[in-house]
Amino acid sequence: MASHLSNGYVNGDSQKTFSLADLPKSNNFTQKLPPDPEYPTPAVSHKTDRSKLGPRLVRSAAYTFVRPVSFEKKELLGVSQAALRDLAIDNATVNTDEFVETVSGNKIITIEGKEQPDDNDIYPWAQCYGGFQFGQWAGQLGDGRAISLFETTNPTTGTRYELQLKGAGKTPYSRFADGRAVLRSSIREFVVSESLHALGIPSTRALSLTLAPEARVRREMTEPGAIVARFAQSWLRLGTFDLARSRGDRDLIRKLADYVAEEVFPGWEALPAKLVSTEEKDAIDPPRGVPREELQGSEDKSEAQENRYTRLYREIVRRNAKTVAYWQAYGFMNGVLNTDNTSIFGLSIDFGPFAFMDNFDPSYTPNHDDHMLRYSYKNQPTIIWWNLVRLGESFGELIGAGSRVDDDAFKKEGVKDDYMDEVVKRAENTIQTTGEEYQTVFLAEYKRLMTARLGLNSFKDSDFEELYSELLDTLEALELDFNHFFRRLSFIMIEELDTEDKRKDVAGRFFHHEGLSGLVGSEAEARARMGTWLGKWVGRVKEDWPTSTEGTEERFAAMKAVNPKFVPRSWILDELINRVEKQGEREILGHVMDMALNPFNEEWGWNKEEEERFCGDVPKFQRAMQCSCSS
Ligand SMILES: Nc1ncnc2c1ncn2[C@@H]1O[C@H](COP(=O)(O)OP(=O)(O)OP(=O)(O)O)[C@@H](O)[C@H]1O
């Protein structure tokens, strides 16, 4: 196999690694949740003609057993070294037939050699979910082109992941589409999943990218197909609960909630305890360890009473609040934040028309079809909360029931008229107070990240107005690049900013190579405005750091470690796609992946000129690109 596959992340740790076949595997998802009643076991699905496993409505189920459909010809284009490490896969096994055949959907290693799988065998499955798309209920969606192979737990880290193929053929959830993915969108997902993770942003991950050179997938044009092998601690989405709720399937909602608490999270006791105050300190790091059955809150009938499902809802909300804070602090936009693209585990998930911000513009959306700007940068925190309110509605009965949640009558028949008001009130109250918690957690995380990005060790109340808002307004007004700003700021010395003239001079480092656009005012005004901001910033740096050489070096190192030199911007991904798909280049993918996996490096030892070009000013006419949803 070509050498480009071994480029990338250098793994310093020593851990036991395995071939894909030898990885420790499990199937808790299919064992603990209800299957599609028409194909209730692996054996029934396996002996069914594959073409019959096509689109239909599936009820009372979390998934359908369904095997992938591979392509005849395949070429492994890339693997992520970081993914290999996190999954405990031996790098030396990547070039084997077993690896390539498994990640391209040709081999089901868990039933290898068997004519028919047994009922308890680990067998591929596609999830059933629904979703609100652009604010409208869209009905059943589900994994229309994703098929999970197995779960695996890394024995060193103890983290369990579900390995899944995207683009591996039709499932009952494919609706009118083909179950395939094109190379273009697969390259984008492969790179960005790993980039987000390397930046510290919770995300689903990507293990490998396989090209099907002869497959022609029809979109606006006919394009080559591809399969991404991807993995996550959970692929459950808010839309999984939406669908059960839309069908009034109370039993499934409860099963799903129990599964999330017991299998996705480390158990009921790991969930956050009731907040005792609205203090930020309490909200950021609430105590945990509440016994499963315990009700928290003063009186039995109190609206504020919390049972275990309330704690679970709050955990899901808190995780998403933190992830959105990361997106805002790093200028990342998902582009289609429908409820089927919002993760129960708080991961960035589903990479369609996503983008990293070029020039700072709060109204920017990378989604060409999002005319209302619903999923624009500035709307992301509000939209994720909108999605989480839908989840609160699905959880409504469970969180509203308070102490009745385990009563047999309630479990069987639901809420009775004589206590309906109490349940509704408690659920509404919980959603409202959880909304406040969402805001507090989001703001606390955003402040933590921005404080670090600005190279400060402390947060002062005045920072919000004077540093954050003023900086963002300035970047927007002067049409300056968001992520470049922070990286360039990371290397400015205090002495360079000790007079007004020097500050105005340094201000020019943040301008584009072609200078300022005519629309932003005179250059002198721009320099003065940025200079004023730099003056405030350096004042805060002096409060937080010693002015010694060591102090400066330490600050440089701290800032460099949180302000990436490389992010996979839309123009870079476009060039990468063009070079791989149209020019037949291969090694470039490994190099870009290496940059994505090590985004804080100064250099990558590949090609200085190319590296600097990818990290430098975005070509003027390729800024703020948009793409459509077709993938
Ligand atoms: N080519 C396709 N074939 C079958 N189903 C598809 C296809 N493209 C999209 N879908 C389905 O349409 C719905 C919305 O698509 P969307 O683009 O948000 O998801 P996706 O990118 O396919 O999947 P994921 O969220 O798993 O990354 C999902 O249910 C998805 O499975």
Does ligand 1 have an atom closer than 6 angstroms to the CB of 369? no
Does ligand 1 have an atom closer than 6 angstroms to the CB of 62? no
What's the pLDDT score for residue 344?
98
Ligand 1 centroid, distance to 631 Cα (angstroms):
8
E-only strand ranges, 141-254: 146-153, 160-166, 181-182, 205-218, 222-232
What's the pLDDT score for residue 303?
84
> Which token pair is 88?
């405990």
Instruction: Please tell me the residue having the least CA distance from ligand 1 atom 31.
Output: 144
What's the pLDDT score for residue 8?
37
Angle between helices 500-507 and 523-544 (to 10 degrees): 110
Does ligand 1 have an atom closer than 6 angstroms to the CB of 144? yes
Distances (CA, A) of 182 to 164, 333, 470: 17, 21, 42
Atom of ligand 1 nearest to the CA of 350: 27
What's the pLDDT score for residue 118?
95
Question: CA-based Rg of the chain, rounded to a whole angstrom?
Answer: 25
Where does residue 346 fall: left (phi above 0), alpha (psi -120 to 50 degrees), or beta otherwise? left
Pocket test for ligand 1, best of 350, 370, 629 (most atoms within 8 A of CB): 350
Where does residue 289 fall: left (phi above 0), alpha (psi -120 to 50 degrees), or beta otherwise? left
The H or E element that residue 356 is part of is strand 355-356
What's the pLDDT score for residue 2?
37
SS3 370: coil
What's the pLDDT score for residue 300?
60
Catalytic residues: 340
Does ligand 1 have an atom closer than 6 angstroms to the CB of 141? yes
Please classify residue 218 by burial: count the beta carbons closer than 10 Å to its beta carbon, then call 0-12 exposed, 13-18 middle and 19+ buried. exposed
**According to the 3-state scheme, what is the secondary structure of 463-525?**
HHHHHHHHHHHHHHHHCCEHHHHHHHHCCCCHHHHCCHHHHHHHHHHHCCCCCCCHHHCCHHH
Q: Are strands 205-218 and 75-79 parallel, antiparallel or unpaired?
A: antiparallel
> Which token pair is 391?
């989840």
Atom of ligand 1 nearest to the CA of 146: 26
ipTM over 0.90: yes
Ligand 1 centroid, distance to 180 Cα (angstroms):
9
Averaged pLDDT, groups of 10, the chain, 631 residues long? 39 81 98 98 96 94 96 95 98 96 96 93 98 97 98 97 97 96 97 98 98 87 94 98 98 98 98 88 90 84 89 98 98 97 98 97 94 95 98 98 94 92 96 96 97 97 96 97 98 96 98 87 95 98 95 97 98 97 97 98 98 95 82 79
Ligand 1 centroid, distance to 171 Cα (angstroms):
11
Contact 196, 349 (CB under 8 A): no
> Which token pair is 629?
């949803």
Contact 256, 241 (CB under 8 A): yes
Pocket test for ligand 1, best of 145, 173, 217 (most atoms within 8 A of CB): 145
